[in-house]
Amino acid sequence: MSKLLPPHGGKGLTCCLLEGKALADEKKKAEGLKKVTMSDRERGDLIMLGIGGFSPLTGFMTKADWKGVLDKFLLADGTFWPIPVTMSISKEDAAAIKDGEEIALVDKDNGEIMGTMKVTEKYGMDAAAKKYECEKTFMGEGTKTAADFWKIAEKDHPGVQMVMNQKDVNIAGPVKVLSEGEFPTKYAGIYMRPAESRKIFEERGWAEVAALQLRNPMHRSHEYLAKIAVEVCDGVFIHSLVGNLKPGDIPAEVRVKCIDVLVKKYFVEDKVLQGGYPLDMRYAGPREALLHATFRQNYGCSRMIIGRDHAGVGDFYGMFEAQTIFEKIPHPAEPGKALLCTPLKIDWTFYCHKCDGMASLRTCPHGKEDRVLLSGTALRKGLSEGAPIADHFGREEVLDILREYYKNLETKVEIKLHGAATGNTK
């Protein structure tokens, strides 16, 4: 009997990825189906549907699911879910697809058929519907009104840009997944299915597992968060996004090298597992924190480390809004339908010269002038501009890897510092 939390939704891992003869037969059939291209985000979502990362989902959302998630954090059947998982097509393609018809889902970059889908519903997504989705998903405490939000959102928020650039019709229905793309080979040993991480946790005898979400190179604050989690749980799952990021973020293969050297030199290795997952960042702040906790439950984690400005971008969210949102979500009474992975809330962390070590706003009584404030954005900006990096910001072994990356980078993106990266705690 497993000691781990069960997968979200009460149905076990719902995996849509085919194997063996079923895979070969579906691939052959897919060649004769109408073909629809996917965005990068949709491709990552499809793979997560395939490997059980999005359990209990088995396909792209209906309008009732979409609306329920936005308005109440609930699927139409009453299961908790925080962010829409949708597939969009053009009006022309929608007109050519009949209800109940099967279609092939194609990678827009290389033409690979990634999956098939039985289209059970089509619903329009005009500008008003897209704006509604954006306001519900991406508008946080950093912008007080919708008018304030829209003054900057379409220019500065990559998640908003993704939604507003979607095609005009969403299609819903169950999927069969035929490929995990490049992830199993490009990130061999890092990319994992939920069944694989669960097996490792069980082999190690872990019951309480904390997940550390990473999209930046692992600096001293991340290291400190992970070590706090190791102290209070059986182990920590350092789980990096290996899908797409916004321009200026550091690619996954570089971040993986940074984590490797940190784990080998600064952690008890059998208390840490490194993994990767195939999604694109949505930069949805609080809602994305909930999504991270939801699919980490599927991976076998009972706690989700939530620090400052989790999954944020710019100044769209309050610094700890991603923590407080966990107190506001519904908890369905029906077994399996509530989110069971709980937040491990940690205050703003930094190196304090007077404390002579890592500390947080809860433990350090000293002033800002004594602290080395740690931010992935600030680190990227300093490295990109060739500026000196403050002592105790990161381990030298990690900084060496990052300096080498930036030295060989031909095109650099201007990186803006926002409130959560500058030490402004108000």
Q: What percent of the chain has pLDDT over 90?
A: 82
Identify the CATH number of the domain in which residue 88 sits: 3.10.400.10
| Residue 45 lies inside a defined structural domain of this protein | yes
**Burial bucket for residue 56 (CB in 10 Å: 0-12, 13-18, 19+):** buried
pLDDT value at residue 393: 82
Q: Are 120 and 200 members of one domain?
A: no
Mean local confidence (pLDDT), 270-282:
95
Residue closest to 232 by CA, chosen among 249, 257, 208, 267:
208
pLDDT value at residue 415: 52
**216 in catalytic set:** yes
Mean local confidence (pLDDT), 387-413:
83
| Residue 389 lies inside a defined structural domain of this protein | yes
- Domain containing 199: what range? 184-422
Q: How far from 297 is each of 42, 56, 300, 306, 342, CA to CA, in Å? A: 21, 11, 5, 14, 9
Torsion 257-359-290-158 (CA) sign? negative
Identify the CATH number of the domain in which residue 302 sits: 3.40.50.620
Read off φ and ψ for residue 41, nearest 5 degrees.
-65, -45
Q: Are 196 and 170 members of one domain?
A: no
Mean local confidence (pLDDT), 162-174:
98
Among candidate residues 216, 287, 296, 303, the one labeled active-site is 216
Number of domains in the chain: 2
Q: Are 170 and 239 members of one domain?
A: no
| Residue 367 lies inside a defined structural domain of this protein | yes
Mean local confidence (pLDDT), 13-24:
98
Q: Are 109 and 242 members of one domain?
A: no
Element (H, E) at 186: helix 183-186
pTM summary value: 0.93
CA distance 290 to 341: 9
Q: Are 325 and 395 members of one domain?
A: yes
Q: Are 98 and 189 members of one domain?
A: no
Domain boundary among 154, 179, 204: 179
For the chain, the C-alpha Rg in angstroms (whole number) is 21
Torsion 293-297-298-300 (CA) sign? positive
pLDDT value at residue 302: 98
**Residue 333: other Cβ atoms inside 10 A:** 8
Residue 146 near residue 139 (C-beta atoms within 8 A) = yes
Domain boundary among 111, 144, 179: 179
**Residue 410: other Cβ atoms inside 10 A:** 4
Q: Are 265 and 402 members of one domain?
A: yes
| Residue 144 lies inside a defined structural domain of this protein | no
Task: Give the alpha-carbon dihedral of 66, 70, 71, 76, to 10 degrees.
Answer: 30
Q: Are 100 and 211 members of one domain?
A: no
pLDDT value at residue 373: 81
Q: To the nearest whole number, what is the mean pLDDT of the chain?
A: 93
Window from 46-60, 71-85, 206-220, 411-425 with minimum mean pLDDT = 411-425
Among candidate residues 193, 215, 287, 303, the one labeled active-site is 215
Tell me: the pLDDT tens digits for 329-373?
A: 999 999 999 999 999 999 999 999 999 999 999 999 999 999 988
Tell me: the pLDDT tens digits for 98-136?
A: 999 999 999 999 999 999 999 999 999 999 999 999 999
